[in-house]
Amino acid sequence: MSKAFTREDSAAEDDDDGAIPAPAVPTGSKNYMTPQGYARLRGELMQLIDEERPKIVDIVHWAASNGDRSENGDYLYGKKRLREIDRRIRFLTRRLEIAEVVDPSVHAGSDQVFFGATVTYVDDEGEQRTVTIMGIDETDNAQQQISWVSPVARALLRSREGDEVSLVTPAGQRTLEVLQVSYPAPDA
């Protein structure tokens, strides 16, 4: 079938680069985010719109003026990069539109686990871990940050220091004991 008769939609375009899909916001939930995470995503969006995209558009325009586009590497790469940038801009715009900014410092001094808490817990095998519960779009496993929709975070939410909570895993049920809960200090 000719490509002229195939339907292209934005969903197919979003998945054509083989990238790992972004985590979905649970249905009926808000996209909770810390103020720092919101600022970081907004900064990335503004940098793409104000700096990177215009630079690539200029390169593509220059490359197109050189003639034969079918063998012009600058043109082909530029168009591909432009599609990637536009895809990321659409993604960031959608995520920021539904973002619910929550300042975890309002819970400073509390011993109960809410969004933004840094929690130290020990599991039933004696392994101690410290994690920070963050928004879906701002987690970083290398920094021990987990999403608020992750199974561990869901088990810990609303518990208090000293509580034991149950975590269901594929290997069976585990018990986690909350040792310490802390929040960032409020801005002065």
What pLDDT, on a 0 to 100 scale, did the predictor assign at position 13?
A: 42
- Same-domain pairing of 93 and 53: yes
Residue 72 lies in a domain: yes
Q: What is the pTM of this model?
A: 0.77
10-residue mean pLDDT series, the chain (188 residues): 47 46 70 93 96 94 82 87 96 93 91 95 94 92 92 95 94 94 82
What pLDDT, on a 0 to 100 scale, did the predictor assign at position 70?
A: 76
Last residue of a domain, one of 36, 67, 101: 101
- Same-domain pairing of 70 and 113: no
> Are 115 and 181 a contacting pair, CB within 8 Å?
no
The residues pairing with 121 across neighbouring beta strands, listed in sequence order, are 129, 178
What pLDDT, on a 0 to 100 scale, did the predictor assign at position 28?
A: 67
- Same-domain pairing of 172 and 160: yes
Residue 119 lies in a domain: yes
- Same-domain pairing of 125 and 177: yes
Total domains, the chain? 2
The CATH number of whichever domain residue 50 belongs to comes to 1.10.287.180
Residue 2 lies in a domain: no
Q: b/e map of 160-169 (b: 16 or more CB within 10 Å)?
A: ebebebebee
What pLDDT, on a 0 to 100 scale, did the predictor assign at position 65?
A: 86
Last residue of a domain, one of 101, 130, 145: 101
Last residue of a domain, one of 101, 135, 165: 101
- Domain range for 137 is 104-182
